[in-house]
Structure 1
Amino acid sequence: MSGTVDRDRVAQAVRELLIAIGENPDSAELASTPNRVAEAYTEFFSGVGVDPVALLADAVPVGEDTGELVLVRDITLRSMCEHHLLPFRGRAHIAYRPGEKVVGLGALPRVVETLAARPQMQERLGEQIADAMVEGLAPEGVLVVLEASHGCVADRGVKQVEATAVTIAARGTLSQPGMRAEILALIGASSR
């Protein structure tokens, strides 16, 4: 985990928050809450300061036998909305058309996890994943599709618990409408 989260300061802030909402942080029910939240935030924000491109460093050259497309779909996604510090959850689908190298399939979920483990916006997250793929692998094209439900939409304001946001980030050859449509159809084939 990243060492950027100051657990003591988070715990102090949570203690102050409890006081601010009229609760007693020293009560038996809440006495451990500040430390629990600090521990959770250490996990939630472990991607702060971590370079996602480094996770693609084990790429291997493939010569002319790269194949047409690599698609990893249904990558579990969990992040924290930077506007309300409420969670959003969903799935990421990453497709790339290899250039001269490919990376182990497990590297793609790690990139998603690292970039999601910081205060985020879904729209920016997809762009950051695509940019990391371009920088780390130099593929001919990248397509990132994110589908997520947001706590700030479901639990406050409009309270739309069934609403899902879909965002797309594309680079290179996978920006072309025909290629995008083909990949979106492959992603849709995984729908439940």
Structure 2
Amino acid sequence: MDAVIKKIMPRSEYMEKPVTHRPSQAEAEAAVLTLLRWTGDDPDREGLKDTPKRVAKAFLEMFNGYDMCPAEELGRTFEEVAGYDDMVIVKDIHFHSHCEHHMVPIIGRAHVGYLPDRKVVGLSKIARVVDIFAHRLQTQEAMTAQIAAVIQEVLNPRGVAVMIDAEHMCMAMRGIRKQGSTTLTSTFTGAFKDSPEEQVRFITMVRNGLSA
């Protein structure tokens, strides 16, 4: 899986903000206007007159992950942990993302665990990393690997475990149209990858919490 992680998100990409060259606000609004016409509706009717402006504004919020560096979020760590070296898990990190193939929502929960090596990171930073990657066009498989890779690279823990459970609107709203079906992905690095027992312990702790 380490090779897969490197292939999906090379160091230069996941350690820094992506290089983006955005069009102007006017160009973005013109593109939305074209899509409104493509739907068959009348963009000049009252309910749609301000839609291009609203959509452009919403896109800046929903895709603000391109303006953030996940490695920076993990930069501050704490070494006063009283000798604690067992698993740290942040469960049920709710997120929304967008499928890179159809640009429709992916809605789910991420569960992230790591085995610290003399230092820990603030729990909110883990959730922030999830949001940064979620607020980009994604596939669930890539997002799972990206979260694990940046935590492993920046914190250098003994291992990282990431599990994501999400519903894809591209499957629920179009095509096969199967509502309620979810996709589960997981990635393990370091001690988690080398030890099936640690994988089982992580999954058990996550699932016990979900069923409680």
Measured against the shorter chain, the TM-score band is over 0.9
* Structure 2 equivalent of residue 65 of structure 1: 83
Counterparts of 1:10-49 in structure 2 under 5 Å? 10-49=28-67
- Cα 1:63–1:74 change in 2 (3 A) is closer
Structure 2, gaps ≥5 residues long: 1-17
Query: Among residues 200, 203, 207, which one is paired with 1:184 in the alignment?
Result: 203
Cα deviation per residue 1:145-176 (whole Å; 9 max; x = unaligned)?
00000000110011110100000011000112
Cα deviation per residue 1:58-91 (whole Å; 9 max; x = unaligned)?
1122477132110000001110000000001110
CA contact (8 A) 2:70 2:132 kept: yes
CA contact (8 A) 1:142 1:174 kept: yes
CA contact (8 A) 2:81 2:120 kept: no
- Cα 1:94–1:4 change in 2 (3 A) is farther
Secondary structure in structure 2 of the residue aligned to 1:189: helix
Counterparts of 1:85-96 in structure 2 under 5 Å? 85-96=103-114
Query: By how many angstroms is 1:49 displaced?
Result: 4.3
Greater mean alpha carbon deviation, residues 43-52 or residues 131-140: 43-52
Cα deviation per residue 1:115-144 (whole Å; 9 max; x = unaligned)?
110100000001000011011100000000
**How many correspondences in the alignment?**
191
One-letter code aligned to 2:198: M
Following the alignment from structure 1 to structure 2, what is the Cα–Cα distance between the partners of residues 137 and 118?
A: 23
Following the alignment from structure 1 to structure 2, what is the Cα–Cα distance between the partners of residues 27 and 161?
A: 32
Following the alignment from structure 2 to structure 1, what is the Cα–Cα distance between the partners of residues 174 and 34?
A: 22
Query: By how many angstroms is 1:36 displaced?
Result: 1.2
Secondary structure in structure 2 of the residue aligned to 1:57: coil
Secondary structure in structure 1 of the residue aligned to 2:107: strand
One-letter code aligned to 1:159: R
Following the alignment from structure 1 to structure 2, what is the Cα–Cα distance between the partners of residues 133 and 9?
A: 36
* Structure 2 equivalent of residue 74 of structure 1: 92
More helix by share: 2
Mapped pair 1:166 → 2:187? no
Secondary structure in structure 2 of the residue aligned to 1:191: helix
Q: CA RMSD in A?
A: 1.8
Identity fraction in percent = 35
Greater mean alpha carbon deviation, residues 65-74 or residues 118-127: 65-74
CA contact (8 A) 2:83 2:118 kept: no
One-letter code aligned to 2:205: L
Secondary structure in structure 1 of the residue aligned to 2:85: coil
